[in-house]
Amino acid sequence: MSAVRAVLFAALVALNIVPALAVQPDEMLKDPVLEERARHLSRELRCMVCQNQSIDDSDAPLARDLRLLVRERLTAGDSDTKVVDFLVSRYGEFVLLKPRFEWRTVLLWGFPPAVVLVGVLLLWITARRRAVEDSPALTSAERNRLATLVEGQNRDGSA
Amino acid sequence: MIPELGHYALVLALALALVQSIAPIIGARKNDPALMRLASSTAPMQFAFTAFSFAALTACYVLSDFSVANVYQNSHSLMPLIYKFTSTWGNHEGSMLLWVFILSLYGALVALFGANLPAALKANVLAVQSWIASAFYLFILLTSNPFLRLANAPFEGQDLNPILQDVGLAIHPPLLYLGYVGFSIAFSFAVAALIEGRIDAAWARWVRPWTLSAWMALTVGIAMGSYWAYYELGWGGWWFWDPVENASLMPWLAGTALLHSAVVMEKRNALKVWTILLAILAFSLSLIGTFLVRSGVLTSVHTFANDPARGIFILGILILFIGGSLMIFAWRAPLLKQGGLFAPISREGALVFNNLFLVSACATVFIGTLYPLALEALTDEKISVGAPFFNLTFGPLFTPLLLAMPFGPLLAWKRGDLLGAAQRLMVAAALAVVGIAVVYVAEGGHDLTLAPFGIGLALYVMTGAVIDLAERTGLFRLPMRVVRSRANGLPRSAWGTALAHLGIGVTLLGIVCETHWGAERIVALKPSQTVSIHHYELTFDGVIPREGPNYRELAARFSVRHGGVFVGTMEPSKRTYGSRGTTTTEAALMTRGVSQLYLSLGEPNADGSVAVRLYHKPLVLLIWLGAVVMMFGGALSLTDRRLRVGAPQPPRKSPAAAMPVAAK
């Protein structure tokens, strides 16, 4: 039993790591407009058994199946959104390389602009605070000292 | 015997590191010169031991000692010598050994070249450096020992993963680590400054050469990795926003920000607290990168949880160092006095702008890389964050950065003249507008987004860098004689700045051209059939079987004609490595100027035809040449006179050149 499993596993591994071409000539659609749409969609869909590869880039058999599926739906007349919706309903959000904006991804999409905004805000606050801190009126002691200095200077000059 | 000696040397290095972690700090507290000086001798000794240990592992690989488990798993007696050599770091254990080897190298360099550092600062820096070293020695010795033996030594090894048997990948990790680990020096200086509670402009000058060398190595390292992925993975992409790539990009972004903020600190004694924080962040991101790549967390949060020993250990190191340093920062940073004031429109202001957007870009890569992991760990839901997300968020952050970049060097310190700078950049803006118009018209006027704007931006950035130099030397305004003497008198760092900024423009130009005008053909060809792409015709001549040292390959020969004239042959192939039974695709590249033809082979079909993927990649080499230009900019800046005054002298420099300056 375990020997059978080992062989099966080896076969699976071999299937996955033998590189072929990502998009094969026989997969491509005759209609260049549809094919271009298919390529475009493929770049935004993840090959789920790969590490961070789109189905357009991946050599895995699963990616090929998905590419064929995308083309099948497009030929059947589906819009791009419908194709994507179909794939999500079948494979979950995991298939999208660009996650949709929803409550789970608010933090993800909101983070980059938030960092810029917080940065600007912090800069503004620091600038204001420092403007107040760094130009304080002279204390009376300092004013006296300044007066003495100026006086001394004048006396030196007149002498 | 060799592996045991290597192992033992590493244990001795750990012992030294532990001493160096504690004694110099006590020395600095008690003002005991002997204890402080201790670090100056333990650091080079540590390096000697790790170097020995590393050499021992290399020897095991070169001699194909398969009684060592690590060598057995990652080498093969028939492998070419160079790959036996480089497979030393082509695996987890060996690459961690390389990591500590480089760490101790930096420590030794600080000890040797930091003669003019204040004794207490030097002692503290080397102690902090040793905390990091101790943690990683322990990590290797406890969880990732490369010297473990096998009871029954096998006759043959299992070979190195074939895609790693490549010169590009052989040099990539050492360069990357020189960068990653180089930021540890900035980190140690930052923590040492916090311990002392004192920091000044001299600090920035001491840190600058180290940060600069780390940044240079990281720049070239990332470019090298990108070029490797481009030709080796076989589908012609050069950046995938893969978490492993992001792991190296984050420290680069933070390090670039650090280089710029350190300039402000050095010249104007401002942004001190921020610079310290950036120094901590740059190295923290290097640690996070190490964690991401080395713990297996990327494959899946769950595989990480299944085999946790290594992952948990690095996570512990991560929490200890990042958390610890940030705590010291929160506690001690308020003690640091704020320095010079500046108006928002000034050189300082421009550099703050640079920092804002670089750090935001870094934060974007950070959240994009870690969000799926965090979400899965917390809610068990899986989402993917890939290239489309990063392309969408990264562009808007980099555009203002690049628009502002040429302004920076043209603004004066303290209070700058924005209008004056804008007037001086008129030529650059005009060129950009011309570029946008030409591309817009040439593209048939239907696309006003990426291509025309990208080309315009690249032209603007490159011209901006030239204008910076022209303004400083008085080119076109003053007689040539004056220009020449001014150019001679210009500090090397000014040349370096302009060159590095020029490099960014060059890379951008390559990216835009490759992305927008790259052409692709995917076809099945039979012998003597021809495929054409962008004025090139490729004829499939036939298939040639060949034997390599440790592989068999099937190469397909193509004759390439440009406008009917024969220009050469291309031979993409598929290799089968017997020992692992794996196949790799070896793409064929033909370089024409800075553009390339890229040909990659697919599966042979039953009817005798073979599938090929052919690309024409216009100006693609500029992407990596730009990085090389940036590196040269950094190198020029590194040789600046100013950095030699009272600073740890950068390596590779004749003592004679530094003497008169040091004597001042």
pLDDT for the residue numbered A156: 57
Cα separation, B583 vs B163, in Å, equals: 9
**pLDDT score of B215 more than 80:** yes
Alpha-carbon distances of B594 from A14, B160, B186, B450, B621, rounded to whole Å:
37, 32, 36, 21, 5
pLDDT for the residue numbered B509: 96
**pLDDT score of B652 more than 90:** no
B interface mutation test: which of A97, A102, A118 has the most B CBs within 10 A?
A: A97
Question: pLDDT per residue over B135-180, tens digit each?
Answer: 999 999 999 999 999 988 899 988 888 888 888 878 888 999 999 9
Mean pLDDT check: name the lowest of A13-17, A80-84, B365-369, B409-413: A13-17
Which residue from B409, B425, B400, B635 is spatially nearest to B501, judged by alpha carbons? B409
A interface mutation test: which of B235, B342, B346, B612 has the most A CBs within 10 A?
A: B235
The SS3 assignment for B562 reads strand
Question: pLDDT per residue over B418-469, tens digit each?
Answer: 998 999 999 999 999 999 888 888 877 666 677 889 999 999 999 999 999 9
Q: Inter-chain contact B393–A112, Cβ cutoff 8 Å? A: yes
Nearest CA in chain A to B241: A52
Name the residue facing A25 among B341, B397, B523 (closest C-beta). Answer: B523
* Cβ-Cβ contacts under 8 Å for B3 (sequence gap 6 or more): B56, B57, B60, B65, B68, B147, B149
What average pLDDT does the structure give for chain B? Answer: 89
Mean pLDDT check: name the lowest of A48-62, B96-110, B627-641: A48-62
Cα separation, B648 vs B209, in Å, equals: 8
**pLDDT score of A154 more than 80:** no
Question: pLDDT per residue over B536-562, tens digit each?
Answer: 999 999 889 999 888 899 899 999 999
Nearest CA in chain B to A102: B383
pLDDT for the residue numbered B590: 95
Measured in residues, chain B has a length of: 664
Q: Name the residue with higher pLDDT: B640 or A112.
A: A112
**pLDDT score of B648 more than 60:** no
Which residue from B211, B165, B161 is spatially nearest to B186, judged by alpha carbons? B211
Phi then psi for residue B157, to 5 deg, are -90, 170
**B360 contacts in A (CB within 8 Å)?**
112, 115-116, 119
Under the banding of pLDDT at 50, 70 and 90, the label for residue B582 is confident
CATH topology of domain A2-100: Helicase, Ruva Protein; domain 3 (1.10.8)
Q: Name the residue with higher pLDDT: B72 or A144.
A: B72
Question: pLDDT per residue over B487-530, tens digit each?
Answer: 888 889 999 999 999 999 999 999 999 988 899 898 999 999 99
Cα separation, B488 vs B521, in Å, equals: 51
pLDDT for the residue numbered A56: 87
Q: Inter-chain contact A57–B523, Cβ cutoff 8 Å? A: no
pLDDT for the residue numbered B655: 43
Under the banding of pLDDT at 50, 70 and 90, the label for residue A14 is very low
CA distance A18 to chain B (A): 6
Question: Average pLDDT, stretch B579-587?
Answer: 83
pLDDT for the residue numbered B166: 84
**B243 contacts in A (CB within 8 Å)?**
52
The SS3 assignment for A146 reads helix
pLDDT for the residue numbered A12: 35
Which residue from B277, B394, B409, B392 is spatially nearest to B351, judged by alpha carbons? B409
The SS3 assignment for B604 reads strand
**pLDDT score of B631 more than 90:** yes
Cα separation, B370 vs B365, in Å, equals: 9
Cα separation, B655 vs B328, in Å, equals: 38
Nearest CA in chain A to B297: A51
Question: Average pLDDT, stretch B632-655?
Answer: 66
Q: Name the residue with higher pLDDT: B175 or B604.
A: B175
Q: Is the dihedral of CA B624, B626, B631, B636 positive or negative?
A: positive
**A22 contacts in B (CB within 8 Å)?**
235, 613
pLDDT for the residue numbered B444: 76
**pLDDT score of B314 more than 90:** no
pLDDT for the residue numbered B664: 31
* Cβ-Cβ contacts under 8 Å for B612 (sequence gap 6 or more): A21, B521, B522, B523, B524, B525, B531, B540, B556, B572, B599, B600, B601, B602
Cα separation, B94 vs B71, in Å, equals: 10
Question: pLDDT per residue over A43-99, tens digit each?
Answer: 899 988 887 788 988 888 888 899 999 999 999 989 999 999 999 999 988 999 999
**A107 contacts in B (CB within 8 Å)?**
367, 371
Q: Inter-chain contact B360–A115, Cβ cutoff 8 Å? A: yes
What is the distance, to the nearest Å, from the Cα of residue B140 to the centroid of all Cα atoms in its chain?
23
Cα separation, B4 vs A138, in Å, equals: 71
Cα separation, B188 vs B516, in Å, equals: 44
H or E stretch including B166?
none
The answer to whether the beta carbons of residues B584 and B577 sit under 8 Å apart is yes
> Quick one: what percent of chain B has pLDDT higher than 70?
94
Phi then psi for residue B624, to 5 deg, are -90, -30
Q: For residue B151, what is the DSSP state?
A: S
pLDDT for the residue numbered B442: 83
Alpha-carbon distances of B395 from A101, B106, B361, B515, B629, rounded to whole Å:
18, 35, 9, 14, 22
Phi then psi for residue A135, to 5 deg, are -120, 55
pLDDT for the residue numbered B167: 85
Q: For residue A45, what is the DSSP state?
A: B
**pLDDT score of A11 more than 80:** no
- How is chain A split into domains, by residue range? 2-100, 106-156
pLDDT for the residue numbered B511: 94
Q: For residue B323, what is the DSSP state?
A: I
Q: Name the residue with higher pLDDT: B21 or B169.
A: B21
Task: Return the number of CB contacts < 8 Å for A and B.
Answer: 121
pLDDT for the residue numbered B235: 74
Q: Name the residue with higher pLDDT: B622 or B297.
A: B622
Question: Average pLDDT, stretch B341-356?
Answer: 91
**A21 contacts in B (CB within 8 Å)?**
235, 522, 600-603, 611-613
Cα separation, B451 vs B398, in Å, equals: 16
pLDDT for the residue numbered B341: 79
Residues from A contacting B (CB-CB < 8 Å) are 14, 17-26, 28, 43-44, 46, 51-54, 57, 92-99, 104-105, 107-108, 111-112, 115-116, 119-120, 123, 127, 130, 134
Q: Name the residue with higher pLDDT: B579 or B625.
A: B625
Question: Average pLDDT, stretch B189-205?
Answer: 89
pLDDT for the residue numbered A22: 72
Cα separation, B142 vs B309, in Å, equals: 9
Name the residue facing A28 among B242, B386, B522 (closest C-beta). Answer: B522
Nearest CA in chain A to B379: A104
Under the banding of pLDDT at 50, 70 and 90, the label for residue B90 is confident
H or E stretch including B568?
strand B565-570
Mean pLDDT check: name the lowest of B67-81, B85-99, B378-392, B434-448: B434-448
The answer to whether the beta carbons of residues B598 and B589 sit under 8 Å apart is yes
Name the residue facing B385 among A24, A108, A127 (closest C-beta). Answer: A108
* Residue whose token pair is 């050149």: B657
pLDDT for the residue numbered B448: 60
> ipTM of the assembly?
0.84
B interface mutation test: which of A15, A42, A52 has the most B CBs within 10 A?
A: A52
**A44 contacts in B (CB within 8 Å)?**
388
pLDDT for the residue numbered A30: 84
Q: How are beta strands B573-577 and B552-562 bridged, if at all?
A: antiparallel
Q: Inter-chain contact A108–B371, Cβ cutoff 8 Å? A: yes
Cα separation, B146 vs B161, in Å, equals: 17
